[in-house]
Structure 1
Amino acid sequence: MDLTVFSGTANRPLGEALARELERSLGKCHIERFPDGELHVELQEDVRGRTVCLIQSTVPPVGENLLELLMMADACWRGGAARLMAVLPYFGYARQDRRATPGEALGGKLVADLLERGHFERLVAVNLHTPSLEGCFAMPLEHLDAAHLLAEAARPHAGPGAVVVSPDLGAVKLAERYARQWGLPLAIVHKRRTSGSEVNVRGLVGEVRGLRPIIVDDLISTAGTIAATAEAVLEAGSADDITVVATHALLVGPAVERLSQVPVRRLISSDSVVPRTGLPFHHEVVSLAPLIADAIRRVTGERR
């Protein structure tokens, strides 16, 4: 299979790791911004007749990174690529899958429509915040699950005396999977969101007293939910050895300060987002490159 891999600027280290996993050299693409802010994308190698994989996480600034992906796709399409595949290790706007009020925009569906205009034949995404978002895409979606990779990485901290904690009702199914895989009890926090970055805990179901909490979620943005959950289990008498496991560690705004004040001892996440440096707690990063590479081989029919 004639496969070329290009990476956007949002997470080039993961793009390079994916290319190595696929035993390819990362495709050469010049991306720059003009003085007036316009983006300029130019391929520096021939893609005519080739299958092209574009990897780009739509992390902040989300709009800029999304536009960069679409312009790379346009350059490949106009360059004669036979097939285009988009890999979005982190998919922004996945939380905007429904409208709470009549005046809201449906961001998730809008972004799905924009990606359709990118001439992509197939999308690959990792742990969408809302799996039902798959119904918004006109093209096939390979929805990958990194939970088993993170569970293995966290296993040394998931021995006797630990408890899995779901930070809200939306994460219960994910937490149940971790609890079954580790053979641990489960506790559930009931929260109420008061704003985009603030939450209030309204209750805790399950026993955490004297146990080491492992808080699991699909993503950490401003860490309001994780911090409130940690405070709730500590108030309920848990041990202060707190582990957080999350697929996507955005850690934006006050996130690091909130997690350091709780305190969190360790964070285990994937590299869907470029890991932040200088964190006041241990951060173990699990690579998604093998998981994504396997999915690409399956859909392209390429063998190792």
Structure 2
Amino acid sequence: MSSRITMSTRIVSGTAHPGLAAAVAAMLGTRPVPCDVERFPDGELRPVVDGVQGGDAYVVQPTGPAVDDHLVELLLLLDACRRGGAKTVTAVVPYFGYARQDRRGRAGQAVGARVAVDALASAGADRLIVVEPHTVALEAMAPIPVEMLTAVPILAGALAELTPEAAVLVAPDLGAVKPAEHYARLLRRPVAVVRKTRVSGERVHAEELVGDVAGRPAVIVDDMISTGGTIEAAVRVLLAHGAAPDITVAAAHGPLVAAAWDRLDRLPIRCLLTTDTLPAGETRASSRVRSVGPLIADAIGRLQRGQSLGSLMVRG
């Protein structure tokens, strides 16, 4: 399907991932509008956006590390577009920071996801586009429409080329079961599930495995790899149950913070596959990246033409 759009479309790039914004704009047959983000010596930001008056502004800004800085910049960019006379303003947030904070784990905690989406709406966003959010509850808690795009077909296409047909798809926790089933339908491969308990932000204890992986390569699929703790725990369980020491890991988002690579380098991971929802950081020879640029451009094009995004959406 063509992603070409009307002359009213304006792509606005934040500083978090200008390469992705430029790629999306090029696929839509345009280029990002002029935008300057001034930073004062104390860290305060002052964005200036030109050329959005009367148009539909799409602000492309993942809120990855440093999450707070990029979120505040996004809020100011949305406000700048609204005050600059944009007809509509859409926040395009390929990686949505705070999505993991979708419920309280104990009394006194904040629900960060709710706070973040409320702030986006208050800053002027009429709509939010995200890729593989950690929780589908994001849509229910947001005061504006949320389009949750899936990167599973993109990654599944790569896995079909990179992994043997005998490989088993593995959900590293119960939250990854539905995406794993989506991969399974596309690749026609069986699924196994690891049950885990999170001990802290970096430590995970995996307890048992449901499914047969004996003697077979495994493909661990998840929405993101942050500290690598979940992947490490899952690999240990897979090896303990006789899986071949030939592991592939696929995730939509790869912030890979803290000591993630230190953990992953100790594991028999043949290939680590992610998308470019975040700019490239530290890599290895095993790293592979597929772009979500065409997915985002397709979604924007459909919205501008009043067409359904159904086939692009996360399956609940």
**TM bucket normalised to smaller:** over 0.9
- TM-fit CA distance, 1:180: 2.3
202, 211, 219: which one aligns with 1:206: 211
- TM-fit CA distance, 1:302: 7.6
1:299–1:280 CA distance, 2 compared to 1 (3 A): closer
Q: Deviations over 1:108-131 (max 9, x none)?
A: 100111001121111111111000
2:235 partner SS: helix
Query: Quick one: distance in 2 between partners of 1:47 and 1:97?
Result: 33
Cα root mean square deviation, aligned: 1.4
Aligned equivalent of 2:40? 34
Query: Quick one: distance in 1 between partners of 2:17 and 2:210?
Result: 38
Aligned residue pair count: 301
Percent of residue pairs bearing the same amino acid type: 44
Q: Give the conservation status (yes or no) of the 8 Å contact 1:158–1:182.
A: no
Aligned equivalent of 1:21? 27
Q: Deviations over 1:240-291 (max 9, x none)?
A: 11100100011001111111111311111110011224x2342111111111
Query: Quick one: distance in 1 between partners of 2:100 and 2:245?
Result: 31
TM-score by length of 2: 0.92
Q: Give the counterpart letter for 2:48 in structure 1.
A: E
Q: Give the counterpart letter for 1:181 in structure 2.
A: L
Q: Give the conservation status (yes or no) of the 8 Å contact 1:18–1:290.
A: yes
Question: Does 2:282 correspond to 1:282?
Answer: no
1:124-203 map, 5 Å: 124-203=129-208
Query: Quick one: distance in 1 between partners of 2:232 and 2:96?
Result: 23
Query: Quick one: distance in 2 between partners of 1:60 and 1:153?
Result: 26
Aligned equivalent of 2:106? 101
Q: Give the counterpart letter for 2:167 in structure 1.
A: A
286, 291, 297: which one aligns with 2:295: 291
Q: Give the conservation status (yes or no) of the 8 Å contact 1:159–1:182.
A: no
Runs (5+) with no aligned partner, structure 1: none
Aligned equivalent of 2:117? 112
1:265 partner SS: strand
Runs (5+) with no aligned partner, structure 2: 1-5, 308-316
Query: Quick one: distance in 2 between partners of 1:207 and 1:298?
Result: 41
45, 66, 84: which one aligns with 1:79: 84
- TM-fit CA distance, 1:53: 0.8
1:206-225 map, 5 Å: 206-225=211-230
- TM-fit CA distance, 1:170: 1.0
261, 269, 277: which one aligns with 1:272: 277
- TM-fit CA distance, 1:106: 0.9
Q: Give the counterpart letter for 2:201 in structure 1.
A: G
Query: Quick one: distance in 2 between partners of 1:160 and 1:50?
Result: 48
Q: Give the counterpart letter for 2:288 in structure 1.
A: E
Q: Could you list the runs of 4 or more consecutive aligned residues of structure 1 that deviate by over 3 angstroms after TM superposition? A: none
